[in-house]
Structure 1
Amino acid sequence: MDHLSSRRRPALIRDLSRPNLRHPQLHRIQAVEALLQRGFPYSRKLAAHSSCVNALAFSSLDGRFLASGGDDLNIHLWDLHEEQVTTPCCSFRGPRRNIFVLAFSANNRYILSGGTDDVVLKFDATQLERPLNPQASRSPDHMFRHHDASIRALAPHAVQDDIFLSGSEDGRIILHDGRAAPSTRARAQDTIQFMAEVTGVLFHPIMEHIFATSDANGRVCLRDLRMAFGPLTQRTQEGVVHTYTTKLSRRSASYLSNPETGGISFNRQGSRLGVTMLHYFPTIYALMDPDPVAVCSASNLPDGTPIPSGAYTYANSCSTMKQGSFGGPGLDEDTLYAAGSDDFRAYVWALPPPAELAARRTRISHADWDAGAHAGVVAFADRSAGPRCVPVELHTPRARLGGHASVVNSVLVHPTMLLAASAGVEAHIVLHGAVESLLGGMRPTAPRVRKVGEAWAEASEEEIEEGEWETITLFDEILQREGNADVFDVRRWRGGDEGDSEDSGGDSEESDSEDGRVLLR
């Protein structure tokens, strides 16, 4: 009888630690999830740049190549299929001024570069196919000189290699099509003009007509390409089909705050949007829900214990351009979100299922909020007299990634390998692995991280170039000035609600927003 009972036990209660030959995909997912539970405890550095590395990008599809660029004006490509990745497989002659953003086209035919010289460069990447051609040109095969200020974002189309969007501090988003006749000026029908600097633009990974935008006034929108561009008579609301709630409310403040939104990212499924916010936490939205479902903070260590009093943890107050990313290498869905921090670390959070987050967040009527029972709580609101939404706060990150001695700006999770890459103020890139054997071998990352103002010799035995140390010291000084800024002090918002009377205070500057409201910065 006992033998028969054991044979009839449901498969779900079997010992899942043993290989499940009848369900290999399930076993693979469980094995990957078990490895990711440990975070990315191993690391190694890639050294080829001579100054800050501002931009990272994995090649499309399988992420074989990692592109890096920064203040030294070089674009290096690293082949992650090599047994020992020690030097770039090839390099491109970059622009005349600092590189801010890199992107691969949909099928890796081109590499796009943008930065402070207002020019978008397009490089032929077909040479990356094996065998690599050492005689191939390293200069750009096309330059797009249509912007009047720094390029902040490049968005390759999800399918077409020749189509991409560029966003600039001149307030314009321009639609480019490499198949069209070259022109010295952007056509009006291919341009959207904002009243604020563009900080992000990104095509949806699946719906090829949908793209997201963010700007310095804190506005994040989902737009439709067919409604955003073309003759003015055919446009509708500049293509906006959805606007996300990004303003903050706190009971101790009589006004709302509108954090400056920086980098934006989609998960692979296009069901979630991540937004980095200056002076606040990374915020996660479901695609068609205006209110956020989660904010990613780090008041706890990865083991769940609270951060010791006075210790550094996640922050984004230094005025550098940070870019977060979703990831789920080896999994069918992206379950991780990663972002760089001012405390010289990168952070990785595990995201609960969307339905769970939506059920756990709290919605509060304005009357209840105004009653004053929510002291210390920060909520999201679209207007001063409107309802509030308190998303789930993810206090405990899955991992805190070290290996840096200054601010970390860019963190990317590899699409297929148990790997993440991070870069920032320093001249090297750090590769973080979930297993030690990746890329020819990694070492455990030292748990200790240099503190702001601490001399390098006191924090590490590694050598560092004098010029790089000068840059690190400069950013230490910036952090000491800006590190404790409160978003409600530096980004007050005067809304369009009737009867609003928030005072700007201090020496804030006024600027018109895209929807006609006045922003106080």
Structure 2
Amino acid sequence: MSSAHKDKKPRLWVPHDCLRKATSISSRRTAVDTLLADGLPYSKKLTGHTSCVNALTISKDGRWLASAGDDPYVHLWDFNQETLSEPAWKFVGPKSNVFTLAFSASGQYLFSGDTRADILQYDLSHTTSPIASRSGRPSPPHASDNQHDDSIREISCHPEQDHVFLSASEDGRIILHDMRADARRTRAQGILQQIAPFSAVQYHPIMTQLFATSDTQGAVCLRDVRMAFGPASQRQRKGVVHKYVTTIAKQGQACMAKPETSSLTFDREGRKLALTMLHHTPTLYTLEDPYPIATFSGRHNPDGSLVLPGERTWSNSCTMKYGTFGGFGSDRDDYYAHGSDDFRTYLWKIPDEAALREQRVVIDHANWDTCADAGQIGYAESYFSPRYVPAELSVPHARLTGHDSIVNTALIHPDRPYLLTAGIERYIRLHSPASASPSTEPLDLTPQEVRTVAASDPHSRTLLLRAMGIIDDTVDEDDEDDRNAIALFDQILRTEGNGDVFEIRALGPSQDDTSDEDSDGEMVDSD
């Protein structure tokens, strides 16, 4: 730990109730910015899982944190507890890896989706006593739904109706579910089918007739429920009302590329949409604009200095990741957080939308290769279309440490200054700007050292062989699962890290950006 980090004085907690009682909106935002001036230097581990933690979600009221991953349990953590040290409740049911969790509108139900295509519904109406979970067995699911034929990539609950949700799957289907329907027939109220596997789905948080989707071919669309699943006379274009341009060009490259979008998220007002792209930087759009207004990167350190060549920085080449908007107690989602292959979590402060749009540059195709900025990235509908170069948010507000492997999920608490992160390891890390806070005992400063991935050598090969089960020797059982998972993903980083999207997802001049409503898939009715 650096001496500067050791000498940091403990900061006192500013209760989120004080933020709510601020005399004006601007003072609330100022209070949050002041609280986060030094980032979130304190943290603790939340332990309970026995394998990778893939999914995190928080209920709308901010009380419950749900977590799930590669073990057969869904954990429920209660922020109303005096000490957040263990799960308040455990659910059983998943028979394979869980990559998505979602709370219903009121928080009564929690849904999980796994790689066996099972969707499980848990009823939280009897989980008010933390003592019950310690003295009894984990609770089974209240109901299940098995309409999909492949891995569930995402579940998004209706913002107002507890029993209604959308699911996206690698079987190429978006299904609209209503859990009130008779399970003996089908709970699928409508099915949207295409050839390309879907990677994400999200209801718009306010305009509930709208939802956004992405697929593994890079198509990102805003859709209307009524046009996608309504009466046959109203259906058209598979519900697509707006497309977002994700095809990119790079100065000096003859080809274009279309990165795979692995997840997406709205801010609380539904004004902004952020995409997580494999082998590319997270990208920020406004709802009505097909072109992005900003990209997030780690080219600079939080102090503004340039990251030196050879130093590790933000990247996403190896796993499915999930970013989040948040306000840390403010009324507006001015921050965006995302995990990285460099074992850190990045937090950016988002400037005003108008300012970002003003910074965006449009360059005609004919002038593209004569621009002064070599390697510049621009977004374009087709090879001969103008390139839109969004603003680059290259200076993160903070870089959070505390993990020894890839961070896949970063989740900002809706009304408390907490940021929760998880990934390859078995624990969740709760980050805070203050050393003392509700729901937690005094927090320690987060270790600043970031583990590096060593070049392949006899020791690393031994770890990999052990992780693959090829050799068996005595190790500490408490560390075995993490060590095995870390060894496996270290090898993935050695072979796949820093992949070039213009080699992996290249498009030739004749391959224009095409929307998924032009694909061979078709929409079908439920039974």
Q: How does the TM-score come out when normalised to structure 1? A: 0.87
User: Displacement of 1:392 after TM fit?
Assistant: 0.4
Residue of structure 2 equivalent to 1:98:
97
| Cα drift, residue 284 of structure 1 | 0.5
Structure 1: gaps of 5 or more residues? 1-18, 457-461, 501-510
Please list every run of 5 or more consecutive structure 2 residues that lacks an aligned counterpart in the other structure.
1-18, 461-475, 521-527
Distance change (3 Å), C-alpha of 1:130 and 1:471: closer
| Post-superposition offset of 1:453 | 2.8
2:180 corresponds to 1:179: yes
Q: Which residue of 2 aligns with 1:73?
A: 72
Which structure is richer in relative contact order (CA contacts within 8 A, separation 6 or more)? 2
Q: CA deviation at 1:22?
A: 9.7
Q: How far apart in 2 are the matches of 1:23 and 1:174?
A: 45
* Partner residue in 1 for 2:448: 447
Report the counterpart of residue 398 of structure 2 in structure 1: 399
- 1:473 match: 487
Q: Which amino acid aligns with 2:69?
A: G
In the aligned structure 1, how far is the partner of 2:257 from the partner of 2:194? 20
Correspondence for 2:473: none
Task: Quote the Cα distance in structure 1 between the aligned partners of 2:271 and 2:137.
Answer: 39
Separation in structure 2 between the aligned mates of residue 220 and residue 116 of structure 1, nearest angstrom: 22
Alpha carbons of structure 1 residues 366 and 42: separation in structure 2 relative to 1, 3 Å: same
Q: Is the 8 A contact 1:453 1:473 kept in 2?
A: no
CA displacement at 1:184 relative to structure 2? 5.4
Q: Distance in 2 between matches of 1:495 and 1:260?
A: 19
Instruction: Give the match for residue 246 of structure 1.
Output: 246
Which position in structure 1 is the counterpart of 2:45?
Answer: 45
State whether residues 54 and 71 of structure 1, in contact with CA within 8 Å, keep that contact through their aligned partners in structure 2: yes
Query: What residue is the counterpart of 2:151 in the other structure?
Result: 150
Task: State yes or no: 1:195 paired with 2:184.
Answer: no
Q: Partners in 2 of 1:186 and 1:259 — Cα distance?
A: 34
CA distance in 1 between counterparts of 2:369 and 2:482 reads 50
How far, CA to CA, are the matches of 2:95 and 2:368 in structure 1? 52
SS in 2 for 1:359: helix
* Aligned-partner residue type, residue 196 of structure 1: A
Q: How far is the alpha carbon of 1:371 from its aligned partner?
A: 4.4
Deviation at 1:233, TM superposition (A): 3.8
**In 2, are the aligned partners of 1:127 and 1:136 still within 8 Å (CA)?**
no
1:204 and 2:204 aligned: yes
Q: 1:174 to 1:443 in 2, by over 3 A?
A: same
1:190 aligns to what SS in structure 2? strand
CA contact (8 A) 2:58 2:66 kept: yes
Indicate if the aligned counterparts of 2:53 and 2:70 stay in contact, CA closer than 8 A: yes
Q: SS of the counterpart of 1:114?
A: strand
Matches within 5 A, 1:212-291: 212-291=212-291
C-alpha contact (below 8 Å) 1:174/1:186 kept by paired residues: no
Q: Which residue of 2 aligns with 1:427?
A: 426
Tell me the CA shift for residue 35 of structure 1.
Answer: 1.1
Deviation at 1:230, TM superposition (A): 2.9
What's 2:31 paired with?
Answer: 31
Conserved 8 A contact 1:127-1:133? no
Instruction: State the Cα deviation string for residues 230-255 of structure 1 (Å, max 9, x = none).
Output: 34443111111110010110122222
SS of corresponding position for 1:33: helix
Confirm or deny that 1:483 pairs with 2:500: no
Q: 1:372 to 1:347 in 2, by over 3 A?
A: closer
Give the aligned partner of residue 507 of structure 1.
Answer: none
Contact 1:326 1:337 in 2 (8 A): yes
One-letter code aligned to 1:465: D
Q: How many residues align?
A: 480
Between the aligned partners of 1:201 and 1:25, the Cα distance in structure 2 is 32
Bigger Cα displacement from structure 2, 228-237 vs 118-127: 228-237
CA RMSD of aligned residues (A): 2.5
One-letter code aligned to 1:112: F
Identity %: 45
Structural mapping, 1:66-145, within 5 Å: 66-129=65-128, 134=133, 138-145=139-146
Secondary structure of the 2:518 match is coil
Q: Distance in 2 between matches of 1:205 and 1:155?
A: 10
Deviation at 1:398, TM superposition (A): 0.6
Matches of 2:495 and 2:26, distance apart in 1: 50
Gap change, CA 1:186 and 1:131, over 3 Å in 2: closer
Output the CA distance in 2 between the equivalents of 1:90 and 1:373. 57
Distance 1:494 1:138, change over 3 A: farther
Letter in structure 1 aligned against 2:504: V
| Contact preservation (8 Å) 2:180, 2:187 | no
Spell out, residue by residue over 1:142-188, the C-alpha distance to the aligned partner (whole angstroms, 9 max, x if none).
1101000000000000100010000000010000011222245565x
How far apart in 2 are the matches of 1:304 and 1:373? 23
Q: When the two structures are superposed, what TM-score results if normalisation uses the length of structure 2?
A: 0.86
Question: Are the counterparts in 2 of residues 272 and 287 from structure 1 also a CA contact under 8 Å?
Answer: yes
Q: Distance in 1 between matches of 2:427 and 2:138?
A: 25
Secondary structure in 2 matching 1:358:
helix
Match of 1:167 in 2: 168
Measured after TM superposition, the shift of residue 29 of structure 1 is 3.1
Task: Quote the residue 2:410 is aligned against.
Answer: 411
Kept in 2, the 8 Å contact 1:195–1:514? The answer is no
Residue 197 of structure 1: CA displacement?
1.0
One-letter amino acid of the structure 2 residue matched with residue 277 of structure 1 = M
**1:363-378 correspondence to structure 2 within 5 Å:** 363-371=362-370, 373-378=372-377
The reply to whether residue 515 of structure 1 matches residue 518 of structure 2 is yes
Q: CA deviation at 1:431?
A: 0.3
Q: Is this contact kept in 1: 2:145–2:187, CA < 8 A?
A: no
Q: Distance in 2 between matches of 1:382 and 1:477?
A: 36
Q: Give the match for residue 342 of structure 1.
A: 341
**Residues 122 and 205 of structure 1, relative CA distance in 2, 3 Å threshold:** same
Amino acid at match of 1:141: H
Q: Distance in 2 between matches of 1:223 and 1:22?
A: 38
